[in-house]
Amino acid sequence: MMHNTYIQLTSDLGIYRDVINVGVLRRHGRILLIGCGEGQILEQSSLEKAARGLFVRPENVDWILLTHHHRDEASGLAPFLEKGVRLAVPANERSLFDAVETFWTDDAVWYHNYNFHPSPLTLRQSVPVARALSGGDIFEWQGLNIEVLETTGCTLGSVTYLIHLGGIKVTFVGDMLYGPGQLWEFHSLQGRLRMADGSVTNEYHGFGEKSEQILIGLEKILQHKPNFLVPSHGVIIEQPQSTISRLRENIEACMANYRQLSSGRWYFYTAKPDWEVVRDKLNRNCRPLPPWVLEFYGTSRALIADDGSVFLIDCAGDCPAKIAELQQQGEMGAIEAVWITHYHDDHVGSVNDVRSQQHCPVYAHECMADILRNPKAYYMPCLDPNPIVVDKVVKTGEMWQWKDFRLTAYDFPGQSYYDAALLVEHDGVSVLFVGDSLTPGGIDDYCAQNRNLLGEGVGFDRCLTLIDELRPDLLVNEHVAGAFTFSPKELHEMQAIFREREALFGKLFPWDHPNYGLDPRWVRCYPYNQTVKSGSEVNFELCVLNHSDIPHAASVSIRLPKGWQIVNGCGEKQISPKTEGRISLSALAPATFERSRHIVGFVVQYDGLNLGEIVEAIVDID
C-alpha cells in the first residue's frame, strides 16, 4: 500500500502522497490543491522540493477542493487557511466543515443510534468555507474548468472533480475505489434497505447497501471517458473501465455471499428478490417453545420454575410494568435473576428498573460487562447511555444451577462483538438463547458497525462452530416468535458459505486481512466519551486490534484542542497476531474554556503506513 511520494501526472498536475493522494494543480505560478491530508506537502525540505519541483507554500495556493468530509482528507488545513487559502467543499456536507460543532454536540449521534452517516471521521473543529459545490457546477480557476459530479456513496454528499488538461481527463473520485477491483474499506457503505412497498429501513439493517451507489457513481464517471482516476486512498488508475468492472465483480460476489446467509431473508424478505423466493421455506425450521419458556413481552423471555419463580432474559421498554401486572394477576412469580444476551438498547433499556423493583441480581458474560457498566466509553450502535449494574460476571463455559435448570454461558460474538449465549437445559430439553445473532433465515450480520469479524474462530465462525458442538434442541432469538433449529447439514452448509466470505472480501481490500476493511473500530480510543474536571489529567488508551496472521507495529500520537497540554503525547507497541494492543496517552485539560465538549484526535501509523487522524475521543469538561 506504499506509493511514490510524488508523481507528475501531466505538465500541470502532480499527485503528492500524503495520508491521501493530494492533487497539485499548477498554472501561471499559482497552485490549486485537490485534497489536503495532513498537509505534509508543506513539510518537505527545500532540497526535496527542488528535486520534485514542488515549491508549495501556503502563499502560492489559491484554493483547496475537497471531495468529502472525512477527517483524513482535511486534517492539515490549518496552515493553509491561516494564510488566506480558500476552501471549496461539497454543498451537501458544508455544515460538517463550517458548523461541525453542531454535529459533535448532538448526542443522538452517539446514543440509540441506528444510522451512521455522517461519520465521526469528520473535522474536530469548524473551518471557513469559501464555496460550496454541487453536481453540475463548473469551478473556474486560471483558465481551467473543473467539473463537479455528484457521486454519493461512502458519505452522503461526496463529489468527484473532473479536470480537462490538454486532451487528458483526470477525475478525483474520493474514496469511491482504491485500485483495480478494490475499496479502501466497506463499513461506510452501510445504507437503507428499500422494501417492496416503498418504505425504507434505517441504515442499521442495510449492510453494503451503498455499494450500488458507488458503482452507479463510477459508471457516471466513465461516461466522461476519463484517462485517469485518482482515489483518495490507493493507486492512480490508468485503465478506468477494467478497474471498475473488476470492482463490480468483486462487490457483487461479496454481496451475493452475504445474501445467502443474511437474517434479512427472515425480517426484510421483500427487499431482495432472492430473499422473497425462499422466505416461506424458512418456516420449516421453526419450532414451538418448551412450556417452561414464556414469551410474554417484546425482547424478553422468562424461564419458569415449578414454583412459578422466574429467571428473566433481557428487559427493555415497558417490560417491568408488564411483569408487575402479571404478578398482580398471579400469573408470574418472583423474578430471581436477569441474564443479558447483548448490550443493545432494545434488550437492556429497563434492566436497572427491573433489578431495583424485583430486587434481583443481573448476570452478564465478561465480554460485555464493561460496555454495560461504562457504555459511554464505547462508540457502538444501539447504545443505551445509562450504565447498567452487573452483579455477577460469568466466563465462557461457566455453569451454574438455578432451581432445576442447568445454565451455561458462552462468548457468542455474532450480531455484535459484545454478545453472549446462554445454554439452558431442563426436562431433557436444551435451549440456546442466542440474542439476535441468528434467525430461521440465517445470521444477523447486516450491520458492519456491530463489528462482525471474518476468520476461523472469530465472529460468526465461532458461533456456528459452538452450535455445531453443543447441538442444542432449540435456538431462541427474542425478535422471533417461538424457537427454531438447524440440522447438522444446514449448519455445515452455513459454515462453508460463511468461510468463503473471507476470501471474497480479501479480494476487495488492499489489507492483509479483510477485517481491516470491515471493522470500523479496529483502532479505537477507550474511553470514547468521558467527563473530567477542568485542569485535570485525562488518560486515553488507544486499542489496536491486529487482525493479521503476523505481528504489526502501531504508533499513535495525540492531537489536542486549543488550551490543552500534552503529558504523554505518543506511544508505540508491537502487537501479536489476532490480539488487541493498548497504548496509553495522556493530556492536561484546560482550566478555562469556551465550550464544555472537546474532541481529541489521534494520528495512527501501522507498520509505517500513516493512516492520519483516524481516531477521536470526546471529553466533556465540568
Confidence at 5, pLDDT banded by 50, 70, 90: confident
Residues 327 and 449 in one domain: yes
Residues 543 and 420 in one domain: no
Alpha carbon 305 to its chain centroid, in Å, reads: 41
Q: State the Cα–Cα distance between residues 32 and 86, nearest whole angstrom.
A: 10
Amino acid identity of residue 406, one-letter, is R
Looking at residue 192, the DSSP 8-state letter turns out to be P
Residues 552 and 435 in one domain: no
Question: How much is the average pLDDT of 295-300?
Answer: 97
Please say whether the beta carbons of 19 and 136 come within 8 A.
Answer: no
Please say whether the beta carbons of 97 and 127 come within 8 A.
Answer: yes
Q: State the Cα–Cα distance between residues 187 and 118, nearest whole angstrom.
A: 13
Q: State the Cα–Cα distance between residues 171 and 236, nearest whole angstrom.
A: 10
Percent of the chain exceeding pLDDT 90 equals: 96
Give the pLDDT confidence of 140-171 residue by residue, as tens digits.
999 999 999 999 999 999 999 999 999 999 99
Structural domain boundaries, residue 110: 6-190+226-238
Residue 211 falls within a domain, yes or no? no
Q: Which CATH number fits the domain that encloses residue 379? A: 3.60.15.10
Question: How much is the average pLDDT of 267-271?
Answer: 97
Extract the C-alpha cell encoding 404: 432445576
Q: State the Cα–Cα distance between residues 100 and 581, nearest whole angstrom.
A: 31
**Number of C-beta neighbours around residue 535 at 10 A:** 12
- Residue 266, pLDDT score: 97
Percent of the chain exceeding pLDDT 70 equals: 98
Residues 480 and 536 in one domain: no
Domain boundary among 204, 238, 272: 238
Domain boundary among 486, 505, 535: 486
Give the pLDDT confidence of 512-543 residue by residue, as tens digits.
999 999 999 999 999 999 999 999 999 999 99
Residue 204 falls within a domain, yes or no? no
Residues 20 and 88 in one domain: yes
- Residue 47, pLDDT score: 45
Residue 261 falls within a domain, yes or no? no
Give the pLDDT confidence of 535-560 residue by residue, as tens digits.
999 999 999 999 999 999 999 999 99
**Number of C-beta neighbours around residue 72 at 10 A:** 24
Please say whether the beta carbons of 234 and 21 come within 8 A.
Answer: yes
CA distances from 343 to 190, 217, 387, 389, 411 (A): 21, 37, 11, 12, 13
Residues 577 and 453 in one domain: no
Residues 432 and 355 in one domain: yes
Q: Which CATH number fits the domain that encloses residue 562? A: 2.60.40.10
Give the pLDDT confidence of 173-206 residue by residue, as tens digits.
999 999 999 999 999 999 999 999 999 999 999 9
Residue 499 falls within a domain, yes or no? no
Residues 306 and 432 in one domain: yes
Average pLDDT, the chain: 97
Residues 526 and 578 in one domain: yes
Confidence at 466, pLDDT banded by 50, 70, 90: very high
Looking at residue 414, the DSSP 8-state letter turns out to be S
Domain boundary among 466, 486, 506: 486
- Residue 46, pLDDT score: 53
Alpha carbon 471 to its chain centroid, in Å, reads: 32
The H-assigned helical ranges of 117-239 are 211-222
Residue 405 falls within a domain, yes or no? yes
Q: State the Cα–Cα distance between residues 232 and 252, nearest whole angstrom.
A: 23
Angle at 429 between CA 428 and CA 433, to 5 degrees: 145
Owner of C-alpha cell 472525512? 70
Owner of C-alpha cell 425478535? 479
Residues 6+ apart with CB under 8 A from 595: 101
Please return the burial class of 10, using the count of CB atoms within 10 Å of its CB with bins 0-12, 13-18 and 19+.
Answer: middle
Extract the C-alpha cell encoding 437: 445473532
Give the pLDDT confidence of 230-253 residue by residue, as tens digits.
999 999 999 999 999 999 999 999
Kindly write down the DSSP assignment for every residue of 384-407, as one continuous string. --S-----EEE-TT-EEEETTEEE
Residues 331 and 451 in one domain: yes
Residues 6+ apart with CB under 8 A from 154: 68, 70, 174, 175, 176, 188, 189, 210, 214
Question: How much is the average pLDDT of 294-304?
Answer: 98
- Residue 43, pLDDT score: 77
Q: State the Cα–Cα distance between residues 607 and 601, nearest whole angstrom.
A: 20
Residue 179 falls within a domain, yes or no? yes
Residue 512 falls within a domain, yes or no? no
Residues 163 and 288 in one domain: no
Kindly write down the DSSP assignment for every residue of 527-573, as one continuous string. SSEEEE-TT-EEEEEEEEE--SSS-EEEEEEEE--TT-EEEE-EEEE
Number of domains in the chain: 3
437-474 residues labelled b (16+ CB within 10 A) or e (exposed): bbbbbbbbbbbbbbbbbbbeebbbbbbbebbeeeebeb
Residues 6+ apart with CB under 8 A from 483: 286, 287, 288, 289, 293, 431, 474, 475, 476
Q: Is the pLDDT of residue 2 over 50?
A: no
Residues 436 and 553 in one domain: no
What is the pTM for the complete model shown?
Answer: 0.95
Residue 517 falls within a domain, yes or no? no
Nearest to 324 by CA among 314, 337, 333, 313: 333
- Residue 48, pLDDT score: 53
